[in-house]
Amino acid sequence: MSAQGLSKQSKKKMITFAVIAVAVIVAIIILNVLTEGKLLNPKNLKNVLAGSVVPTLVAFGFLIVFTGNVTDLSPGGIVILACTATGLLGNAYGVPVMVIGGIAVGVGCMLLNFLVYRITKIPPWIAGLGLLMVYEAIAVNYANSVAAKGQKVVVMNNDIRFLGQQPGIYICWIIGIVVAYIIFNHTSLGINYRATGDNEDVAKVMGINVDKAMILGGIVAGAFFGYAGVIKESYAAFVNAQSGLTSLSTTFQPMAAALLALALASSINVIIAVPISTFLITLIFNVLTLFGVPSGTFQDFILGVIVILFAILAQRKVKGVVK
């Protein structure tokens, strides 16, 4: 493409992004007026930002998975397992061990997931649902065994929860963004994984070991899911085990954020788009709460609509069936 063509393309991207940014700002100002200034209250904004940190980290994992042309629905169960491991290890051995352990759980689960996909050739969304039930069952069985002994399910000690409290949670958020940006944009791992996701046959011709690229991509996604579990447990102190695929509902917001980021990728770097998308989605539900809309039912309806709309936008240029 000529320099003139690149210049025109860059200008088009800048104009598109500027239009989107102005529209979002105007909408936020209007909503702030309708909520009598509560929306842009500094304390409320801090809470919204803090509440978007864990979904942002989970969204990074989803983004990596989706970029590999894979649909995996098991991250909700993985995050809960990572939370459980984080609480246990943190109380027993301290912060460094709990961080390593929580991330290791995420890595181990996603490594298993991708090995299952690649070896068995089972469609990832089917295998992911089966593995989700396995991960949920492990967490529930642990919770039941502890309760049967008359003991409390793990609750993180307050003195080691600083990673999930302000300002520690913001530092963890920034670290996650920087690491994701570097891996996705400036490493052979990220480049090979994206190339494999675009077209495995072409990637093979380019000399890329596609199985290795996919599995390494899954490991990175798992690291983000595990990291999210560490921060979530530190933020909440206790995360309930869930069964019957109910943990799937906990991933709809970050899934929507990842899909919106993919839709915005033509106008802004997709990694930068993830925290922006997550913050905006968190803000939407904060507005609904400020308007007195109860959580559940109607908020879930809105979230379902958002997921569908963003999925349409993200896949509008994809031909064929998404895996």
pLDDT digits (tens, 9 = 90+) for 187-235: 999 999 999 998 999 999 999 999 999 999 999 999 999 999 999 999 9
Helices (H) and strands (E) in the chain, counts: 12, 0
Query: What is the CATH code of the structural domain delimited by 35-314?
Result: 1.10.3470
pLDDT band for position 319 (50/70/90)?
very low
- pLDDT above 60 for 79: yes
pLDDT of residue 312: 77
Q: What's the number of CA atoms in the CB half-sphere (13 Å) around residue 155?
A: 3
Among the ranges 50-54, 149-153, 319-323, which has the highest mean pLDDT value? 50-54
Rounded-to-integer distance, Cα 165 and Cα 177, Å = 18
Rounded-to-integer distance, Cα 70 and Cα 90, Å = 33
- pLDDT above 50 for 320: no
pLDDT digits (tens, 9 = 90+) for 1-28: 445 555 666 677 777 777 778 888 898 9
pLDDT band for position 322 (50/70/90)?
very low
